[in-house]
């Protein structure tokens, strides 16, 4: 006898989009970001392998952490493929994070992992460039959870500091 599928549970929430404008060119902004978080994606397969303990795992990760506490996970060059649709625009989606930061949230609600690592979008603009992201706490905290909120707000602050640092001329 098969069990009938359960009805999906929907939880409404509102994300908060944050945008930083910069007088830096697109290429300068990308270079500034990658100078901070690293220009080579973390070997994620290696990060997912079991270690002999937390200290060993932390040591493995520290080798990849950039100046602002984040590391690069992936780059998606939307500008490259949207050109096929006649859209001439530089657009780079950047996935960055730090499992050592993520665990401060996941220990309070593992579903926060749906939004870890975080993502940024860098665009070329007529007067320079911009960097946009969705505030992590607005995505991760969808029900009352003070511990998760506190940890997610720390991530918000770290991400804002990185964005301000790399967008400033």
Is 66 part of any domain?
A: yes
Residue 2 counted as domain residue? no
Q: Spell 149-162 as b/e; 16+ CB within 10 A means b.
A: bebbeebbebbeeb
Q: Could you give the number of structural domains in the chain?
A: 1
Strands ordered across the beta sheet of 91-97: 17-22, 128-134, 118-125, 91-97, 71-77
pLDDT of residue 69: 95
Task: Name which residue leads in pLDDT, 169 or 81.
Answer: 81
Mean pLDDT of the chain: 94
Question: Do the domain assignments include residue 146?
Answer: yes
CATH number of the domain enclosing 65 = 3.30.310.70
Q: Is residue 112 assigned to a domain?
A: yes
C-alpha R_g of the chain: 18
Could you read off the pLDDT of 32-91 as tens digits, one per residue?
Answer: 999 999 999 988 777 777 877 888 888 888 888 999 999 999 999 999 999 999 999 999
Who has greater pLDDT, 101 or 48? 101
- At residue 22 the predicted structure's pLDDT band, cuts being 50, 70 and 90, is very high
């Amino acid at each position: 006898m098969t069990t009938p599928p359960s009805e999906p549970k929907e939880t409404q929430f509102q994300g908060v989009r944050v945008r930083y404008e910069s007088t830096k060119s697109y290429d300068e902004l990308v270079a500034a970001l990658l100078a901070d978080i690293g220009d080579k994606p973390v070997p994620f397969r290696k990060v997912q392998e079991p270690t002999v303990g937390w200290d060993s795992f932390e040591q493995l990760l520290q080798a990849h952490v950039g100046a602002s506490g984040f590391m690069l996970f992936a780059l998606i060059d939307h500008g490259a493929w949207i050109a096929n649709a006649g859209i001439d625009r530089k657009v780079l989606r950047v996935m960055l994070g730090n499992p050592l930061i993520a665990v401060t949230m996941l220990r309070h609600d593992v579903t926060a992992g749906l939004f870890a690592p975080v993502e940024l979008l860098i665009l070329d603009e007529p007067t320079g460039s911009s960097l946009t992201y969705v505030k992590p706490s607005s995505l991760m905290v969808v029900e009352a959870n003070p511990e998760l909120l506190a940890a997610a707000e720390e991530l918000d602050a770290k991400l804002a500091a990185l964005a301000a640092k790399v967008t400033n001329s």
